[in-house]
Amino acid sequence: MKLDTKEFEEKMNKTVDAYRGELTVMRAGRATPDVLNRIRVDYYGVPTPITGVAAVSVTDARTLTISPWDASITRAIEKAILTSDLGINPQNDGKVIRLSFPPLTEERRREMTKQIAKMGEGAKVAIRNIRREANDKTKQMKKDGDMTEDEVKQSDKLVQDLTDKYIKIVDQVTELKDKEIMEI
């Protein structure tokens, strides 16, 4: 009997997707609506994403414009942005809110590169934990008599190949984000 690696590949893929999601939220000096994904606004007692209560558009490379559909929520959006970890002061003219992203300093670029590397290492550790889980499963299957020694070696090799593939993907994603930050 052979180990079904689909379950473990799916988990590794979800880990990479989560890592990509974390990176899209990082503020890289360029205006992108993704930076608002984690910010919630209290809308009639329900925590709602900003994109659920307003139109968000990129005015220029460094400016986001938030146009609430209900003018009464403008203050709540402004407050949510101020209390978030975004680090940008919104300009509110009563109808729309503007977010101006300052250019990145060299120090901030280095800091972000370190943060990205740390997040990438976290994703790699998660992938290695999935590998360990798969290897433990093959050992248990061998112990239960469901696998021969050759099948265990074959399954371990398949799992290692999957691990190598997904760690390489994490490295590529990290490299792309680093390059993006250095070009801004």
Residue 165, pLDDT above cutoff 90: yes
Query: Whole-angstrom Cα distance, residue 142 to residue 11?
Result: 23
The conformation of residue 154, written as its DSSP 8-state character, comes to H
pLDDT of 123:
95
- Report how many domains make up the chain: 2
**What pLDDT band is residue 135 in, cutting at 50, 70 and 90?**
very high
- pLDDT per residue as tens digits for the range 103-130: 777 887 888 888 889 999 999 999 999 9
Rg of the chain in Å (alpha carbons): 22
- pLDDT per residue as tens digits for the range 66-102: 898 888 888 888 888 888 877 778 888 878 888 887 7
pLDDT of 9:
92
Of 24, 15, 6, residue with least CA distance to 170? 15
Amino acid at 153: K
Whole-prediction pTM = 0.70
Residues 130 and 174 in one domain: yes
Residue 87 resides in a domain: yes
Residues 137 and 74 in one domain: no
Residues 126 and 172 in one domain: yes
Domain boundary among 100, 135, 158: 100
Residue 142 resides in a domain: yes
**What pLDDT band is residue 144 in, cutting at 50, 70 and 90?**
confident
pLDDT of 17:
93
Residue 1 resides in a domain: no
pLDDT of 104:
75
Cβ–Cβ under 8 Å, residues 129 and 55: no
pLDDT of 23:
81
Query: Whole-angstrom Cα distance, residue 146 to residue 128?
Result: 24
The conformation of residue 103, written as its DSSP 8-state character, comes to P
Residues 111 and 77 in one domain: no
Cβ–Cβ under 8 Å, residues 77 and 50: yes
CATH number for the domain spanning 140: value is: 1.10.132.20
Query: Who contacts 62 (Cβ-Cβ below 8 Å, separation ≥6)?
Result: 29, 30, 31, 100, 101, 102, 103
The more confident residue out of 162 and 184 is: 162
pLDDT of 1:
62
Query: Whole-angstrom Cα distance, residue 130 to residue 142?
Result: 19
- Domain range for 14 is 6-24+105-183
Q: What is the mean pLDDT of the chain?
A: 86
pLDDT of 171:
94
The conformation of residue 61, written as its DSSP 8-state character, comes to T
Of 111, 117, 112, 127, residue with least CA distance to 17? 127
- pLDDT per residue as tens digits for the range 19-75: 988 887 665 666 777 778 788 888 888 888 888 888 888 888 788 888 988 888 888
Query: Whole-angstrom Cα distance, residue 73 to residue 120?
Result: 37
